[in-house]
Amino acid sequence: MLCFIELGTRRVHLAGVTAHPDGAWVAQQARNLRLVLGERGRRVRFLVRDRDAKLPRAFDDVYHSDDAEVLITPVQAPNANAHAERWIRTVRAECLDWLPITGRGHHEQVLHSYIEHDNRHRPHQALQLEPPDPPVGPTVTSEHRHRGHRRDRSTACSTSTTDKLHERVTAPYGQFLRAQARGVLAVDFFTVDTVFLQRLDFLFVLEVASRRVHVLGVTGQPTGDWVTQQARNLFMELEDCVGRFPFLLRDRDAKFTAAFDAVVAVEGITVLRTPVRALRANASAERWMGTVRREVLDRMLILGCRQLRSVLADYADQKRPPPAPRVGASIATWARRAGCLGAGWAGRGPYDEIGWVG
């Protein structure tokens, strides 16, 4: 397999798959890539490669003819070509290690499908959580996000192509979440194993702006009906506060069924699904799960659903101390924000071993 990566856009090009990668074949793949990039109006200034003997002088001459400089990495220094090495490791861990490859044609078909997904749907931190080639399509604009104003299929089909392109959101995904943090609810599952070798699923909702956690439920059989009922219970608990949250962020877990999305949509909330295998797209929920595991679940034995729900509810309700003051910040201002100026404070619950005293 011979592949090329554009470091600026993270776009991957599959040159070809062969069992006999001789010098002539490799040079021809380089010419093919030059034609593809030429059609897009892109020009290669630098090419980074290792010292593999399968990359002959004829391969370098293809890029020298375009006044491109070929940079050869030092001996046994894979980190000098870190982007390519990391992508190879990713495609092995996520794809090739899970599939028995039967031949060259099968191998090429699998890689083409994976690279198409990688280029069109995989978010990259260097691109503000955007894919290299984001799909162009219609999205719901702000005028349709209010309660009771959702676009139906007939409206979407009647929209012209020009209007669809104008409706497309151009802000990066990460910038969108930061701007809309006050109105985003993040929902997620995580699993806990008991001492009796039973796996329990815990469902929670996090208010991204205030970091307030709502414990929805714990069960050993998280069916679609159960998850939908927990959503109804959440909106009954929020009551009049539901209007403050126009968005609900979730992953693509199969336990979130169409009925769950329908209950959310009735409240005038738009469901945002994270990209495939993009944990950082729901970073607030993922970080809270990591914190509760380190501070609570890794330090005690769980016997069943009732104990787990009680423990997590107490943990979510406890008052957490604020972060340490920044250099140059006023200690009095910091203590006043913490609510501990002039009175002693100690955390409540079975997990507070350190108290803050004003």
Confidence category of residue 122, pLDDT binned at 50, 70, 90: confident
Q: Where do you find CATH 3.30.420.10 in the chain? A: 174-317
Residue partners of 294: CB distance under 8 A and separation at least 6? none
Q: Give the residue-averaged pLDDT of 39-59.
A: 86
Superfamily of domain 174-317, CATH level 4 = Ribonuclease H-like superfamily/Ribonuclease H (3.30.420.10)
Q: Which residue has the higher pLDDT, 344 or 309?
A: 309
Name which CATH class applies to 2-120: alpha beta
Q: Give the residue-averaged pLDDT of 311-324.
A: 75
pLDDT digits (tens, 9 = 90+) for 188-202: 998 999 999 999 999
SS3 label, residue 83 = helix
pLDDT digits (tens, 9 = 90+) for 81-109: 888 888 889 888 888 888 888 888 888 88
Q: Give one word for 239, left, alpha or beta, with left for phi > 0 and alpha for psi -120 to 50.
A: left
Q: What is the reported pTM?
A: 0.46
Mean pLDDT of the chain: 78
pLDDT of residue 102: 84
Name which of 26-30, 176-180, 227-231 the model is least confident about: 176-180
pLDDT of residue 125: 79
Q: Which residue has the higher pLDDT, 176 or 341?
A: 176
Q: Show the beta-strand stretches assigned E in 144-254.
A: 184-193, 199-207, 213-219, 247-250
Crossing angle (nearest 10°) for helices 224-238 and 258-266: 20
pLDDT of residue 182: 76
Confidence category of residue 156, pLDDT binned at 50, 70, 90: very low
